[in-house]
Amino acid sequence: DAKGEISHFIAIERDVTGRKHAEEALRLREATAKALLNAPDAAALLLNRDGKILILNRVAHQRLCTTLGVPAEGDPEEFLGRCVYDLFPPELSSNRRERNEDVIRTRKLSRFEDERNGVWMDHAVFPILDSQGEVSTLAVFSYDITILKRAEETLARSLDNERERSRRDPLTN
């Protein structure tokens, strides 16, 4: 019957329209998440429990390329699915694996600084829990704090110089 066919057609049209709206909303959420991920000037990675890279931003991509000694011209997605521990020198890899396993075991944030080749980094590793309260993934953020460390060193030297001057009488030395 014609009336039934029209109703069926209208239902299909509503379904298609609803799907288009849902797809557009999803696309907008993905674009927003990508923009937020790339906005800070910090390396950001999402790792699974085994250290495989699930998500990374442009800064993390650049730093990984620098660590590997390769040009940072490629797509950040080239690192997706790769184990982050395989991308580091052995000692650094071992250190990062131990720290991440500690975060998984304790379910607590780990924050630490380190220096490599004159570059100081401040790292934060956040556990992300699943519905059972177990760590499912790790969110890792790394900030370059080299300028801050150099300023601290300069301030410490100035303070030492001032202390030394305060101990000496300029007239009698």
Is residue 61 within 8 Å of 80, Cβ to Cβ?
Answer: no
The CA radius of gyration of the chain, in Å to the nearest whole number, is: 26
Residues facing residue 110 across a β-bridge: 125
Lookup: tokens for 58:
């442009």
Residue type at position 21: H
Mean pLDDT computed over every residue of the chain? 85
Lookup: tokens for 101:
């396993």
More confident residue, 38 or 96: 96
Tens of pLDDT along 29-66?
Answer: 666 556 555 556 889 999 999 999 999 999 999 988 88
Instruction: Read off the DSSP letter of residue 141.
Output: E
Rounded to an integer, what distance in angstroms lies between the CA atom of residue 83 and that of residue 88? 10
